[in-house]
Structure 1
Amino acid sequence: MTQAVETITPVTPIYVPKLAYQIAMSQPQTHLFEVKLIVSNWHGELLDIKMPAWTPGSYLVREYVRHLQDFSALTSDGQKLNVVKAAKNHWQIQPGGSSEIIINYRIFANELTVRTNHLDATHGYFNPAALCFYIPGYEYCPIEIKIIPARPDWQITTPLPEISPQTFLANDFDTLVDSPFEIGYQQIYDFTVLDKSHQLVVWGEGNLDPQIAIADIKKIVEVEAKIFGGLPYEHYIFLLHLSPSGGGGLEHKNCCSLLYPRFGFKGSEKHNRFMQLVAHEFFHLWNVKRIRPAALEKFDYEGENYTPSLWFSEGTTSYYDLIIPRRAGIYDEQEFLAELSKEITRYQTTPGRLVQPLSESSFDAWIKLYRPDANSSNSQMSYYLKGEMVTLLLDLLIRDRTDGAKSFDDVLVAMWEQFGKAEIGFTETQLKNIIESVAERDLTDFYDRYIHGIEELPFNDYLNPFGLELKSDEVTVPYLGITVNSDRGKETIKSVAANSPAYLAGVDPGDELLAIDGFKVTAEKLVDRLKLYQEGQQINLTIFHGDRLMTLPIVLAKPQPQKYHLQGLGNTVDRQRQLFKDWVSHR
């Protein structure tokens, strides 16, 4: 190879190249997609191509190019072209006078998540950001994608329009990235909501009852459409992968990808959890796909796109994924309060809430949220979870201040009208101004305390006008400050809470728990053993710290709340009851 050549990217090109992908999977059991990119009508001295490092909706540089192999560049008659690899995801091709360049490579795809690629004997799924190159300066060019399935009876599902058999068209690279492909054996269920066509497309086997699921999906679509005044698409796809374990979702403009445990649908609690996932990803078609921070208005696919407002994009969406199923009648008031209590418990039992501000959590998503470690709960706060809590407080504040005439729904509608319809990115200040205009008050102090600061959230101050209070369950077990996993007879300390007795004594995550006061203890029996002691008593904790046997004297602290629940106040007035009813039942 020769030395890297300075990139030549025309600012105002006098020609438009034609871009066409051909994606095959002749041996799906090898997990290798065979990709051919044909660049026609190319007249530049150098062809630069780059592969994205991340995909919108999942804020982590994932280095998709690490799965690429067997790269080559040829002329239309098969002549090999000179190629320079200028960076980890960047190739420079010297066309040698040829106007058509054929690029071949393969992508290893054996990671079943909503943000990566997966290929096996039953299907192929890919996110174009994790599979396709772009040409800097030509992201606006239309792109054709021809799919060659592994077997003739494999079906193809994608939100892109089909322009000829098995060939689809993306108007530009952003649209291509926003359009996942599912190829293989799949069950397709068509349904209509508000005169718009929808599909539930399912890969995998499990205990999903599609008719029950679709009935509730319809309700969610209708409730969310009511907030924003209609549906901003003509066709929408719910793409569902049934997996052995795990779950998640990734939003796209006209579809969403959902991953859910194959046997996780029976029983109201499991069904409700799935509907919350659906409500969350569907809500994103407004909030983040169209109403999005200015930093995400135009994507930089090579690196981090920083914004302090992911708490609104994701956290607000998390709040609504709880309340939307209640409005849709999928669960009742008590189930809603129980689900919200679980979320508050998660928040209140995360030490990192007193360390990392919400806006910083949003900004640092790229290096923290998606890379948890044993100390994460001590030092970090999820912008999903605290954003959900902050949106709850703001919703209650607006409803209380306006006597129920307005809610956070009005914030969303204003954001939709001002930014979403035209797809103009909003700034942090613009978001704050709209919330303030709906709340009819200055929120600088609120922002300083709870978004840019780390003060405890005063839940009861906001819940009282609704006839509710937050209470912690009574705890009698003295506090040690560790969580323990049991695996084949080995008791491993999973986490150690900051400033807890165990933390101050020098216990580390990864240590092996052996005994308390000379007697063996397991994860299952730890709480029962601690019940034998009182606050202020000393225990001798025996552990393996690496390969070193240690016994540490630890003084137990006072019991710490581990569970919180919302409950009604003893005496409420008409205004409290009406505000509560409007909140949980109406809007």
Structure 2
Amino acid sequence: MTEAVRIPNIASSAVKPSIHYQVEMPNPASHLFDVMLTIQNQNSAILDLKLPVWTPGSYLVREYAKHLQTFRAEDDQGQALSWRKVSKNHWQIESGDVTQLKVCYQVFAHELTVRTNHLDASHGFFNPGAVLMYIPGFEEAETTLAVTPPAGWTVTTALPPVEGKPNTFVADTFDTLVDSPVEIGAHSLYDFDVLGKPHQWVIWGKGNFDIDRIIVDTQKIVEVEAKIFGGLPYDRYFFLLHLSAGGYGGLEHKFCTTLLFPRFNFRTTENYNKFMCLVAHEFFHLWNVKRIRPKALETFDYDQENYTDCLWFCEGVTSFYDLAIPMRAGIYDAQNYLKLISDSITRLQAIPGRRVQSLSESSFDTWIKLYRPDANSKNAQVSYYLKGELVSLLLDLLIRRESGNMRSQDQVMQQMWQQFGQSETGYTHAQLKSVVESVAGIDLTDFWEKYIEGTVELPYDEFLNPFGLGVKVETAEDAPPYLGIELKSETGTAMVKTVFCDSPAHDAGIAPDDQILAIDGFRVRANQLNDRLLNYQPNEQIQVTVFHDEELRTYSVTLTESRPTAYKIQPLDNLTQAQQDLGERWLGVNPKLLGS
């Protein structure tokens, strides 16, 4: 490979090239998309092309170029053009005086997530940022995309169609193209209207869902969220749902969302509610993140990480609303809402990393930590989704308390929408704090320093008590003495996944990837560990035998008190009238009626 030569960018030219993408899949079972990029009116002796390394909304450098193969370039007569690869995602073509050229390559697509690509005999799905190259300097140029589906397949995307050209679409910028996933196949389409605008469920895969129920509840969610922001910022919108054996996730876009959910998880109320929370979450993103976004994400750099310390607001506030919106929509009641918040508190309090990493740090370090968990992650980091949700709850309660429930987090979102979202102007952390303070009516410096920029424990009771509620810490009767490990599997071989910091196992020297063999000389399997520990008392010493890197070792471990198994929000005793009134104005029901 020859060394790259520094060449003036084509963007210095006043003439914009014409850019057209053609995506084909002649053999879907091969998992290969065939891509042809045709560029006309280009006048640079060296043409630069790049493939994004990440997709907005999923903050990890995913190295999409690793799936690219059989790259070639040719002029309009079919003659090969010389090219060189400059870096992992950067190609340079020696175009000379050629004004029209074609670039062809293939992309392997066999990863069914909302942020990658998938192609098999049943359908094709791709995120344009993971498939289509761009010309640096011409990200603002209009492009067209033509998709050639196999016989019997249809194409669904949020891009507007080109009149008179089947399965051909136009994107005004590369940002718009990246933000418009494409589904190709024999998927099912379900149309419905909300607030006079057309919507659609697009579903690939089979499952036990009830589409009529989903549509009715989706309409409710759209109406509740639209009410917060004063309307819907689009002409049409669709929900793309992939049903699989066990996948889960969502990725937001301006005019659609992509969802992944287990195909048979719609039957129980708990799982169905989880699905509707996912719908509420991704739909809320069409305001928060897609239009209201941090300064660092105002203009996307597809070549590298885009750092911001505000993802706790982007995702945490959205997570806060994905629990609240279904309650407001009547999909579940206040009792279930408080249970879901309680579950979130329980999860956060079980993570030692909450005392190590702040929300701001978690946001900034997402590129190297959140999506790449390891054996020490729970000891050293915290999710800005999870803690951000609970900090957002505290902010909501604080605003409600200070305003006598006349204002809430809703007014924060409305101001952010009016000040930044409608114009899509990025905000700074200082501007965000200023907006929240203006709604709360008080200085929030102390709150910010403790709970967003610091690692002080969240004082749930302090914020819940004015609303007649508190958090009860529970330890199950069958909870064993504390050993301090998490296993990779609950059955079979007892392989250690995580050793929690400052735990008995940690202090004794047990390490991740150790295989636990026996306790006090008796064999123990993963699904037997808790039952075996129930035979002991706190402060009792046990002998734990393991394979450590295939070496047999025995550790003396002194067990400690059982750890809490649940944190439950419940009504306080002897509520004042003020607490009852404030709680009812928040939840729509008198808190003393919520039970324990």
- Maintained 8 Å contact 2:35/2:106: yes
2:146 equivalent to 1:146: yes
1:468-547 alignment, distance < 5 Å: 468-475=469-476, 477-486=480-489, 489-547=492-550
Q: Which residue is equivalent to 2:594?
A: none
Q: Which residue is equivalent to 2:122?
A: 122
Q: Which amino acid letter does the alignment assign opposite residue 407 of structure 1?
A: S
Q: Which whole-Å deviations, capped at 9, do the CAs of 1:228-271 have from their partners, x for residues lacking one?
A: 00000000010000011120000000000000001111111010
1:35 to partner: Cα distance: 0.2
1:585 to partner: Cα distance: 3.3
How many Å separate the matches in 2 of 1:398 and 1:488?
47
Q: Which residue is equivalent to 2:18?
A: 18
- Maintained 8 Å contact 2:493/2:526: no
Range that drifts further, 52-61 or 513-522: 513-522
2:73 equivalent to 1:58: no
1:422 to partner: Cα distance: 0.4
1:520 to partner: Cα distance: 2.1
Q: Which residue is equivalent to 2:593?
A: none
How many Å separate the matches in 2 of 1:478 and 1:319?
33
- Maintained 8 Å contact 1:155/1:185: yes
- Maintained 8 Å contact 1:202/1:240: yes
1:214-253 alignment, distance < 5 Å: 214-253=215-254
How many Å separate the matches in 2 of 1:33 and 1:212?
36
- Maintained 8 Å contact 1:81/1:96: no
Q: Which residue is equivalent to 1:375?
A: 376
Q: Which residue is equivalent to 2:386?
A: 385
How many Å separate the matches in 2 of 1:307 and 1:455?
21
How many Å separate the matches in 1 of 2:487 and 2:21?
50
1:475 to partner: Cα distance: 4.5
1:481 to partner: Cα distance: 0.6
1:374 to partner: Cα distance: 1.2
- Maintained 8 Å contact 2:492/2:527: no
1:24-423 alignment, distance < 5 Å: 24-149=24-149, 151-163=150-162, 164-423=165-424
1:95 to partner: Cα distance: 1.3
Range that drifts further, 404-413 or 9-18: 9-18
Range that drifts further, 302-311 or 544-553: 544-553
1:562 to partner: Cα distance: 2.2
2:442 equivalent to 1:441: yes
- Maintained 8 Å contact 1:53/1:64: yes
1:501 to partner: Cα distance: 0.3
Indicate the SS of the match to 1:434: helix
1:486 to partner: Cα distance: 3.8
Q: Which amino acid letter does the alignment assign opposite residue 131 of structure 2?
A: L
Q: Which amino acid letter does the alignment assign opposite residue 300 of structure 1?
A: D
1:526 to partner: Cα distance: 2.1
Q: TM-score, normalised by structure 1?
A: 0.98
- Maintained 8 Å contact 2:46/2:94: yes
1:7 to partner: Cα distance: 3.0
How many Å separate the matches in 2 of 1:579 and 1:526?
46
- Maintained 8 Å contact 1:475/1:560: no
1:132 to partner: Cα distance: 0.5
Q: Which amino acid letter does the alignment assign opposite residue 103 of structure 1?
A: V
Q: Which whole-Å deviations, capped at 9, do the CAs of 1:80-111 have from their partners, x for residues lacking one?
A: 11111111111111112111010000000000
Q: Which amino acid letter does the alignment assign opposite residue 155 of structure 1?
A: T
Q: Which whole-Å deviations, capped at 9, do the CAs of 1:105-126 have from their partners, x for residues lacking one?
A: 0000000000000000011100
1:153 to partner: Cα distance: 1.1
Name the count of aligned residue pairs. 585
How many Å separate the matches in 2 of 1:38 and 1:575?
68
- Maintained 8 Å contact 1:473/1:563: yes
How many Å separate the matches in 2 of 1:548 and 1:4?
50
Q: Which amino acid letter does the alignment assign opposite residue 13 of structure 1?
A: S
Q: Which whole-Å deviations, capped at 9, do the CAs of 1:382-435 have from their partners, x for residues lacking one?
A: 010111111010000000111100001100000000000000000000000000
1:10 to partner: Cα distance: 4.5
- Maintained 8 Å contact 1:315/1:388: yes
1:514 to partner: Cα distance: 1.5
- Maintained 8 Å contact 2:450/2:456: yes
How many Å separate the matches in 2 of 1:81 and 1:485?
51
Q: Which whole-Å deviations, capped at 9, do the CAs of 1:449-493 have from their partners, x for residues lacking one?
A: 111111111110001001111111134532111122447631212
1:446 to partner: Cα distance: 0.7
Indicate the SS of the match to 1:134: coil
How many Å separate the matches in 1 of 2:396 and 2:235?
31
Q: Which amino acid letter does the alignment assign opposite residue 581 of structure 2?
A: Q
- Maintained 8 Å contact 2:36/2:105: yes
For the aligned residue pairs, the C-alpha RMSD in angstroms reads: 1.2
Q: Which amino acid letter does the alignment assign opposite residue 235 of structure 1?
A: R
1:513 to partner: Cα distance: 1.4
- Maintained 8 Å contact 1:142/1:172: yes
How many Å separate the matches in 2 of 1:104 and 1:228?
44
- Maintained 8 Å contact 1:7/1:48: no
Q: Which amino acid letter does the alignment assign opposite residue 166 of structure 2?
A: P
1:518 to partner: Cα distance: 1.5
- Maintained 8 Å contact 2:237/2:255: yes
How many Å separate the matches in 1 of 2:258 and 2:426?
24
Indicate the SS of the match to 1:525: helix
Range that drifts further, 543-552 or 111-120: 543-552
Q: Which residue is equivalent to 2:552?
A: 549
Q: Which whole-Å deviations, capped at 9, do the CAs of 1:293-320 have from their partners, x for residues lacking one?
A: 0000000001010000000000110010
How many Å separate the matches in 2 of 1:534 and 1:488?
24
How many Å separate the matches in 1 of 2:205 and 2:188?
9
- Maintained 8 Å contact 2:28/2:120: yes
How many Å separate the matches in 1 of 2:307 and 2:255?
25
> Where do 5+ consecutive residues of structure 2 fail to align?
590-596
How many Å separate the matches in 1 of 2:8 and 2:33?
30
Q: Which whole-Å deviations, capped at 9, do the CAs of 1:32-53 have from their partners, x for residues lacking one?
A: 0000000001112221110000
How many Å separate the matches in 1 of 2:489 and 2:156?
42
Q: Which whole-Å deviations, capped at 9, do the CAs of 1:185-239 have from their partners, x for residues lacking one?
A: 1000000000011010000111111111111111100000000000000000100
Q: Which whole-Å deviations, capped at 9, do the CAs of 1:531-585 have from their partners, x for residues lacking one?
A: 2222211111111112111111111112221211111101112221222222223
Q: Which amino acid letter does the alignment assign opposite residue 200 of structure 1?
A: W
> Where do 5+ consecutive residues of structure 1 fail to align?
none
Q: Which residue is equivalent to 1:585?
A: 588
